[in-house]
């Protein structure tokens, strides 16, 4: 029922919304005052020259309305947003406009994105059948799926007397990732655990580790002939190789307020970004979701997107690592 009422309200707003808005600029106010003064003088004196001047002044008003309306006709706007957008972090994105008119260009286009951008963008000219763009800076206040609001497009073309505008509603949604913070560092003891782990394995390592008995199936190139001759048995060299521990970040539902929860999520996002940049296989464990530890930019994006969409369900039970989780589990 509530959704139906909202739909009806939206329909009524669109039904009675004017296709164009008009604002009189400061210079336009002076122009109107002068025009009225000339008209009053022409009426009182009957001077033909004043009537000619009045007609010229009024023709400028008519031309301004026609040309400004033409400048806003058949323009299509599109936001060009980066793939990775972080909350509370300035991001540059583009607004592209294409002029679908066959012959007439559009001039002096100002675009105000009222959803996130404070400063408007400006496009001097869009030729007929061509596209142009402007760069804007935005700050998204929160993580999660963000629905972009309408664009307010205006032009003061041709004389700057009036500003004519319109509302454009491109259907844009952007997934805002948790902020990557500079002041969140992993604990020192966790950094030590997350480092390389030394394991004595006979194989492709480079540093010798031990001398052991040669068994069937071992690589003959690892035979240590000098030790074998002394002990009258075949011995081989065992090497030490470096293997990396896998890490899983575990976010637990707690009775935290909103600010504390966002801080924990930002901490998890920062740690995931840090360890994946260092080349460590990193995973994420949420209530009802487990991302296995892997490396790479795609893995980092998966973790950040899961954190961006995370919503606590009030269950304070700590999820236990499943049988597939190996390595270190860090609770956040």
Which pLDDT does position 189 carry in this prediction? 46
Q: Residues 75-109: pLDDT tens digits?
A: 999 998 888 999 998 999 999 999 999 999 999 99
Mark whether 235 and 130 lie in a shared domain: no
Mark whether 206 and 278 lie in a shared domain: no
Q: How far is CA 65 from the centre of its chain?
A: 38
- For residue 246, count other CB atoms closer than 10 A to its CB: 19
Question: Once rounded to an integer, what is the mean pLDDT over residues 313-326?
Answer: 56
Q: How confident is the model at residue 256 (pLDDT cuts 50, 70, 90)?
A: confident
For the chain, strand residue ranges (E) read 21-24, 75-80, 85-86, 91-99, 106-113, 121-126, 131-138, 144-147, 151-155, 162-168, 173-177, 196-200, 207-213, 235-244, 247-250, 282-286, 289-294, 328-331
- Answer with the one of 208, 226, 244 that is the final residue of a domain: 244
Mark whether 118 and 267 lie in a shared domain: no
The span from the CA of 103 to the CA of 129, in Å, is 8
Of 108-112, 135-139, 218-222, minimum mean pLDDT range:
218-222
CA distances from 317 to 203, 223, 254, 277, 312 (A): 43, 54, 8, 31, 12
The residue ranking higher by pLDDT, 141 or 316, is 141
For strand 162-168 and strand 21-24, is the pairing parallel, antiparallel, or unpaired? antiparallel
Mark whether 89 and 210 lie in a shared domain: no
The span from the CA of 318 to the CA of 130, in Å, is 57
Mark whether 155 and 38 lie in a shared domain: yes
In total, how many domains does the chain have? 3
CB 157, CB 71: distance < 8 Å: yes
Mark whether 102 and 10 lie in a shared domain: yes
For strand 151-155 and strand 173-177, is the pairing parallel, antiparallel, or unpaired? unpaired
The yes-or-no verdict on residue 191 having pLDDT over 60 is no
Mark whether 165 and 312 lie in a shared domain: no
Mark whether 8 and 50 lie in a shared domain: yes
Question: Once rounded to an integer, what is the mean pLDDT over residues 99-122?
Answer: 89
Q: How confident is the model at residue 294 (pLDDT cuts 50, 70, 90)?
A: confident
Mark whether 152 and 59 lie in a shared domain: yes
Torsion angle, CA of 261/264/269/273, rounded to 10 degrees?
A: 170
Q: Residues 276-292: pLDDT tens digits?
A: 888 888 899 888 888 88
Residue 182 belongs to a domain: no
Mark whether 47 and 133 lie in a shared domain: yes
Domain that residue 258 falls in: 246-331
Which pLDDT does position 76 carry in this prediction? 92
Could you tell me the pTM of the whole model? 0.70
């Amino acid at each position: 029922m509530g959704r139906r009422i909202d739909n009806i309200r939206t329909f009524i707003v669109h039904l009675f919304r004017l296709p164009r808005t008009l604002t009189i600029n400061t210079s336009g106010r002076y122009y109107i005052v002068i025009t009225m003064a000339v008209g009053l003088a022409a009426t009182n004196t009957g001077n033909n020259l004043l009537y000619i001047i009045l007609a010229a002044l009024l023709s400028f008003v008519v031309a301004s309305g026609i040309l400004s309306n033409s400048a806003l006709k058949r323009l299509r706007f599109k936001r060009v947003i980066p793939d990775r957008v972080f909350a509370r972090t300035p991001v540059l994105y583009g607004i592209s406009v294409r002029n679908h008119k066959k012959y007439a260009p559009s001039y002096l286009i100002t675009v105000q994105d009222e959803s996130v951008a404070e400063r408007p963008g400006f496009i001097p000219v869009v030729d007929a059948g061509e596209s142009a763009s402007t760069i804007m800076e935005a700050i998204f206040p929160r993580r999660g799926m963000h629905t972009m609001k309408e664009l307010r497009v205006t032009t003061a073309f041709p004389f700057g007397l009036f500003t004519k505008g319109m509302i454009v509603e491109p259907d844009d949604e952007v997934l805002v990732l948790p902020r990557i913070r500079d002041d969140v560092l992993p604990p020192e003891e966790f950094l030590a655990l997350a480092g390389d782990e030394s394991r004595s394995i006979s194989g492709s390592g480079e540093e010798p580790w031990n001398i052991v008995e040669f068994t069937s199936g071992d690589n003959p190139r690892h035979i240590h002939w000098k030790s074998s001759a002394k002990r009258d048995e075949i011995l081989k060299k065992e090497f030490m190789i470096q293997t990396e521990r896998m890490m899983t970040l575990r976010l637990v539902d707690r009775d935290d307020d909103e600010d504390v929860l966002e801080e924990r999520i930002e901490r998890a996002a920062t740690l995931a970004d840090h360890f994946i940049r260092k080349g460590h296989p990193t995973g994420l464990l949420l209530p009802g979701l487990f991302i296995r530890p892997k490396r790479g930019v795609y893995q980092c994006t998966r973790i950040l997107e899961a954190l961006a969409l995370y919503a606590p369900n009030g269950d304070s039970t700590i999820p236990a690592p499943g049988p597939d989780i190996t390595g270190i589990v860090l609770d956040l």
